[in-house]
Structure formats: C-alpha cells, structure tokens
C-alpha cells in the first residue's frame, strides 16, 4: 500500500525492490516492537524485563558509587 501513492517516484528508482525490502523490514520491526510492548504491558513488565514500577536506581545503589580503599 505504501508504494502505490509513490509509484510515479518509485518507478524512477534504480532499485525499487530494495526500497520495498527496506520499507517492509521497517514495518515488520515496528509492528514487532509494538506487539512486544503490548505483551510486556500485559505482563506488568518494562522493556528491560523488570517489573513495572521497579525503581532501577534503588536496585543499583541509588546511582552512587562506593569507593573502598585497598590496603
């Protein structure tokens, strides 16, 4: 469907199949990401797999580094 409105421009391209491949790939990746976000939302998880509402800074020590001397 995306090619039809642009056909006048596309037929002048040297590699119309390449354009079609790239666009189809981008559509598929976008759809996969959207579906993944939806499923993770149903499961109550963020994109990184942690539970939604999980405080990442608290889990990482609040973002503070602890320096210990070695003697």
Q: Cα 65 from chain centroid?
A: 30
Mean pLDDT of 14-23: 89
How far, in Å, CA of 22 to CA of 10, rounded?
A: 13
Q: How much is the pTM?
A: 0.53
Locate tokens 């354009």: which residue? 19
Identify the pLDDT of residue 27.
93
Average predicted confidence (pLDDT) for the chain: 76
């Amino acid at each position: 469907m995306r090619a039809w409105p642009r056909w006048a421009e596309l037929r002048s391209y040297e590699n119309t199949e390449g354009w079609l491949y790239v666009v189809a790939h981008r559509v598929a990746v976008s759809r996969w990401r959207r579906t993944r976000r939806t499923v993770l939302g149903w499961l109550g998880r963020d994109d990184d797999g942690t539970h939604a509402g999980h405080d990442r800074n608290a889990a990482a020590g609040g973002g503070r580094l602890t320096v210990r001397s070695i003697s």
